[in-house]
């Protein structure tokens, strides 16, 4: 039978003191919430209905909106075409050159969520901190475990794809990448498989050489003191990355880069040379 390790359960007076202080702080936060009118209190305590951390992030916005929409008409003043009111939770106002109070609803929502430069409401902040601790206690560990499993699955799929699909070498030293790696996979802007050979032909027509080493493809053009790697993976353009030649690992390896849109139809060679010269000059 396995016995529980006692190494982490040894009494630590400092940890015990911190725990007690945190409990007192949470108790003070609950007291702050109970000082506001019951209809707001119910909204601020409804984080107990959250079923996940993601739910909680949405809940904060929704709670702020509900509170802002419940400000009674007699607490709202009309000033220079905007409806304004003090915070119904903490009583705080804003002092502007023309008007006082938060614009209803957006200005007040920003105060309640602490968005941007807005001063975060002390009352809603107390509720949000309690809510954050609640979802962490209830779902934090399970969510992290699920995330790790998902990441491991993705890594397995990527590793398998790397052995069967074409990898694109677009840098002298960085590892070659799949067609949709990096920002292309987030934005879904990678070139469709049937357009890849069109892009290869376009680059080769500009004087580039095609090298295939196993499943690693590179398209390069060597010049006197630089080498250019073509990256054909984007949907509507080819990116040319210029490096010193012969390439040596150093901070100054890269000499520039430029995009060449697929929509360019005529005088490809002269337009390419023009852009290459500009990119080298700019660098």
> Which residues form the interface with Zn ion (CB under 5 A)?
87, 89-90, 92, 121
Give the CA distances from residue 80 to residues 58, 96, 100, 145, 233, in Å, rounded to whole numbers and listed in that order.
32, 12, 11, 53, 53
Beta strand 216-222 pairing with 102-103: unpaired
**Which CB atom, from 76 or from 253, has the smaller least distance to Zn ion?**
76
**Helix or strand run (H / E) with residue 125:** helix 122-135
Output phi, psi for 234, to 5 deg: -80, 150
**Which CB atom, from 43 or from 89, has the smaller least distance to Zn ion?**
89
Q: Which residue is nearest to Zn ion (CB)?
A: 121
Cβ atoms 260, 249 nearer than 8 A: no
Q: How far is the CB of 27 from Zn ion (least distance, A)?
A: 21
Give dist(CA 60, CA 148) in Å, integer: 26
**Which CB atom, from 112 or from 242, has the smaller least distance to Zn ion?**
112
**Which CB atom, from 118 or from 204, has the smaller least distance to Zn ion?**
118
The token pair that represents 75 in the structure block? 């607490």
**Which CB atom, from 40 or from 56, has the smaller least distance to Zn ion?**
40
Cβ atoms 252, 242 nearer than 8 A: no
């Amino acid at each position: 039978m396995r016995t529980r390790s006692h190494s982490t359960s040894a009494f630590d007076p400092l940890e015990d003191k911190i725990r007690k202080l945190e409990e007192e702080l949470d108790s003070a936060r609950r007291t702050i919430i109970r000082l506001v009118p019951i209809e707001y209190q119910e909204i601020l305590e409804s984080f107990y209905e959250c079923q996940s951390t993601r739910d909680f992030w949405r809940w904060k916005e929704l709670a702020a909106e509900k509170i802002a929409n419940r400000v009674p008409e007699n607490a709202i003043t009309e000033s220079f075409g905007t409806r304004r009111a003090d915070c119904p939770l903490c009583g705080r106002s804003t002092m502007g050159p023309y008007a006082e109070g938060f614009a209803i609803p957006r200005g007040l929502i920003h105060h309640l969520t602490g968005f941007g430069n807005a001063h975060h409401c002390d009352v809603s902040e107390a509720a949000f901190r309690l809510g954050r601790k609640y979802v962490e206690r209830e779902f934090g560990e399970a969510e992290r475990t699920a995330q790790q499993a998902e990441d491991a699955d993705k890594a397995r799929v990527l590793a398998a794809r790397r052995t069967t699909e074409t990898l694109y070498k677009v840098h002298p030293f960085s590892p070659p990448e799949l067609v949709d790696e990096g920002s292309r996979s987030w934005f879904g802007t990678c070139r469709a498989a049937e357009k890849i050979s069109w892009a290869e032909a376009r680059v080769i027509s500009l004087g580039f050489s095609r090298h295939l080493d196993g499943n690693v493809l590179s398209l390069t053009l060597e010049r006197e003191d630089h080498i250019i790697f073509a990256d054909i993976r984007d949907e509507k353009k080819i990116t040319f990355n210029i490096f010193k030649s012969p390439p040596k690992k150093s901070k100054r390896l890269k000499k520039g880069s430029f995009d060449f849109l697929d929509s360019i139809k005529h005088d490809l060679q002269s337009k390419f040379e023009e852009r290459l010269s500009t990119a080298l000059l700019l660098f």
